[in-house]
Structure 1
Amino acid sequence: METDPEKTFRQTGWAGLRARLFHLYFVLRRPMTLGVRGLVHDTASNSIFLIRHTYVPGWQLPGGGVEAGETLAEALARELAEEGNIALTSPPALKSMHFNRRASRRDHVGFYLIEHFSQTTPKLPDHEIAESGFFPLDRLPEGTTPATLRRIAEVFGCEQPSPYW
């Protein structure tokens, strides 16, 4: 059976082009941001890794934005390396997804539990990270953010994950 290339393009090409144009329209009209955060848990000492940024108050879980062309897991690995000199030694466990309505009307965060990692040297302060370190779960630093405390309670306190960050 012969196919007419021009007819095929009219049937599929215009639809594909239209789909790409609609996608572009929605990206420009309603952009959504996506981020990741990781709860790095040292099971041997029952401690977690927290950071304090130079530009926002409070101690929080490491993480950041997912860049174009990056998977969530790739973004998490990059952010852990940048913010904590932490390398994943096995795949992290995606625990939940959250709508971060405090950041914007279109921000979402993938939350991961990391229990298999290495850190060859502690993270030194820089222009982004003021302080970082591992803290025992029963002695978290003063100023730990409410969202961080909620995620810890969801993982270790058997609380249901909130849909909100």
Structure 2
Amino acid sequence: MALHHRLIGRVARIYWRLTKPRTIGVRAVLLDSDDRVALVRHTYTDQWYLPGGGVKKGESMETALLRELEEEVAVKNPQIERVLGVYHSRREAKDDHIIIFAVRTGDGEADALEEADLTEIEEAKWFPFDSLPASTSPATARRIAEYRNGLTGLGNW
């Protein structure tokens, strides 16, 4: 993991403690035709997460989700199936709201998963539901379990 990304993350957390910003993020339970889920490992953390990121000012949730999927894992034509849940997080001193979507890859894209933004994404892989890596973040594991159980989530991240 890149040392400079860890340092940038620390500076960001200090800034967030001082400013307490309200942020909106989007993430995807992105599935391929074999019902494997896409997970990413960022350059600034050791855990695996659902792909996604922040919504920019003036950007819709859908536009942000599609942009993040293309930027992080090079998926260009995903099909959004539904909203899985809306969550709130106070981690890192932010007032963060995260919208989770169920998304499928477009035709022929299952093999196209790759680390599209090498400065942010260390690794991107497909995983069967029953073989998630041990270092999957707890919140990511909860979102995947909710998807598998047909639940709509709401509440704390």
Fold shared per TM-score above 0.5:
yes
Larger RCO (CA within 8 A; separation ≥ 6): 2
CA shift for structure 1 position 160: 5.7
Q: Which residues of structure 1 form unaligned runs of 5+?
A: 1-28
Residue among 136, 139, 144 paired with 2:136:
144
Distance 2:20 2:43 in 1: 30
CA shift for structure 1 position 102: 1.3
- Note if 1:135 corresponds to 2:127: yes
Instruction: Tell me the TM-score normalised to structure 1 length.
Output: 0.74
C-alpha spacing 1:93/1:103, structure 2 compared with 1 (3 Å): farther
Distance 1:141 1:35 in 2: 23
CA shift for structure 1 position 87: 1.9
CA shift for structure 1 position 142: 2.0
CA shift for structure 1 position 100: 1.3
CA shift for structure 1 position 123: 1.3
Alignment RMSD: 2.1
- Note if 1:51 corresponds to 2:37: no
Contact 2:41 2:49 in 1 (8 A): yes
* Identical-pair percentage: 36
Q: Which of 1 and 2 has greater Rg? A: 1
Distance 1:57 1:161 in 2: 25
- Structure 1 segment 75-154 matched on structure 2, within 5 A: 75-117=64-106, 118=109, 121-124=112-115, 126-154=118-146
C-alpha spacing 1:71/1:145, structure 2 compared with 1 (3 Å): same
Contact 1:55 1:128 in 2 (8 A): yes
Contact 1:52 1:129 in 2 (8 A): yes
Contact 1:49 1:134 in 2 (8 A): yes
SS in 1 for 2:79: coil
CA shift for structure 1 position 90: 3.1
What is the one-letter code of the residue matched to 2:112?
T
Contact 2:88 2:96 in 1 (8 A): yes
SS in 2 for 1:83: helix
Residue 157 of structure 1 is matched in structure 2 by 149
CA shift for structure 1 position 111: 0.6
How many residue pairs get matched? Answer: 136
Distance 1:94 1:32 in 2: 21
Q: Which residues of structure 2 form unaligned runs of 5+?
A: 1-18
Contact 1:85 1:120 in 2 (8 A): no
Contact 2:21 2:94 in 1 (8 A): no
